[in-house]
Chains A and B, each alone.
Chain A
Amino acid sequence: MAAAAALAEAIASLDVRFGARTVTAVTAAAERAEQRRSFTDTSFDRISGGIGPGEIVALTGEGTCGKVTLALRAVAGAQRDGGMAMWIDPARSFDALAAQRSGVDLACVIVVRPRSRDEILLAAGAGLRGDGFRMVVVDLGPSFAQIASPDALSSVVPRVRGSTAALVVVSDAPAMRISLPTFVFERAGWESRHGRTTGWSVAVRRVGDARSDHALLKAAV
């Protein structure tokens, strides 16, 4: 009994220092993480393996290449079994109609509109600390309108580990000073049908992936 009490106390102290659920039984943790991975139902899932709780994913690439759309699909995936999501939107560019078309349940999305870098950090930290959200998305907006770079999120990154939420960072440019699992979006070519341009395809690859495996997403105009 004394050993069990000491173990419980040690786990509690680790939880306090490093966040909730830092220590979990190996099997339980693996099962839960597997059950709670969010999928986008695109070929992105093949290269990413889904986005799990306590994980960070950065989606980067030039404008209108599908980063936000993929993030919305990820939110929809996170909501599939009833989760809430937080969308941090300093650029005030959240498109409710696009979200709905991506399958997002808007009633279960809290959109936070911070006005400064500190407010972004406050919102992201709060979203990751509790167990209220399945996914926190920080859409830093187009580079010309950014009030913070992905590097500014360095203080939030340690909070992701042990959180019940996943953190998705959407930005034009990748982080330079911190290492985030990053997926780069690049235009691969135009899509046409019956001789008419109908959209473009976007290649998504994981930065540092030696296999140079990539996902191909198509965007329609």
Chain B
Amino acid sequence: MARAVAFVHLRGEVSDARHAKVLEALSRLLPKVGVEGPGLFACDLRGTERLLGPAERVGERIVATLERVKIPCAVGIAERPFAARVAAERAPAGGVVRIRPGEERAFLAMLPLSALPLDEESRDELALLGIRTVGAFADLDSGAVLDRFGRAVALTHALARGQDAGEVRGTPPKRRIAARRAWDTPVAAREQLLFILKSLLDGMAAELAQEGIAALRIDARFEREDAPPLRIERVVLPPTSDASALLRSVRWGLEEVPGADGIGQVVGARVEVTEVEPARGRQIGLFAPDGANEDEAMAVARYLRSRLGPDAVVRARVSDADAALAEREAEWEEAVS
């Protein structure tokens, strides 16, 4: 299959949950799915013909897949993303519109100018020039459009001519990385519980590293024999895929549990990474191989700031070394904002 893009346009209410569900379903079906907006997805169909059949067939499969989860949609397929998008937006629910290669310009020509992403001022100016359809706009000379309207309108002009070269930027669906463990003998000591969690988090850290992502938020739930489940939600700063940093964060969370020992009789644990970020390489201190991890130091500062309140975690700066009063020599600022 030559280059082909399928746009999926959801109909009806588009909630976050429905959006996520569709992204997950499409990502299972196709190799490269991008999010273009709420309820609007772009799917790159290159290389899928042998496995999934011709583009129309893929479109039908998308509609059928989403119908099974009761989400109505329309699919537009074209060689160029913009034409596919317009086709999807204008197709009836459950419909698949295929624009043949080379027919994009003709398909767009009959549409009103409102189909193009033009600002109001430019649209009015074009209307004054008697240009009211995409076709009439496409017929204008590219150089003249650039001269008169500037770069943004010139790019829209390329869209009208079916010359957009937009690539589908893949958006992976939200990954659910979680681990669960249960045991028969209740654990009442924090250190013992952390020992168990270490092996749980090791596996999750390996998954995160494999995906090239870092955990930003983790949610730990502990089933207890003598009390309702204990839930700890932690924001991990800086985001990390390092098991010991994740364990440290959970440890701090457990230390905040009120009570003498606090954790009760724990018989099971479930830890889930609820928010991730692309993993970024850690800046290594050139001359400080160990113990000079500023990110880590700032994470500790943030933690202490959250526990001790404002004005408790600060940095000093000498403002006037010759000040007559000692208190004017230095300025203090919060170490973390």
Contacts and interface: CB of A to CB of B under 8 A. Distances in A.
Interface of A: 12-13, 15-17, 20, 32, 36, 53, 81-84, 86, 94-97, 99-100, 106-115, 119, 122-123, 126-127, 129-134, 164-165
A76 to B, nearest CB: 14
A34 B307 CA distance: 35
Contact of A16 (B198, B285, B287, B290): B198
A114 B288 contact: no
Interface of B: 191, 194-195, 198, 202, 244, 247-248, 251-252, 285-288, 290-301, 303-304, 307-308, 311-318, 321, 326, 329-330, 332, 335
Contacts of A17: 191, 195
A12 B202 contact: yes
Given A16-B195, A96-B317, A84 B307 contact: no
Contacts of B326: 95
Contacts of A20: 244
Contacts, number: 131
Given A12-B202, A81-B288, A97-B321, 11 more contacts: A12-B198, A53-B291, A84-B293, A95-B326, A96-B316, A108-B294, A109-B315, A113-B311, A114-B308, A126-B303, A131-B290
Nearest to B307: A122
Contacts of A86: 297, 300
A36 B290 contact: yes
B292 A81 contact: yes
Contact of A119 (B288, B300, B308): B308
A94 B195 contact: no
Nearest to B290: A164
B201 to A, nearest CB: 10
Nearest to A100: B318
B142 to A, nearest CB: 53
A132 B314 contact: no
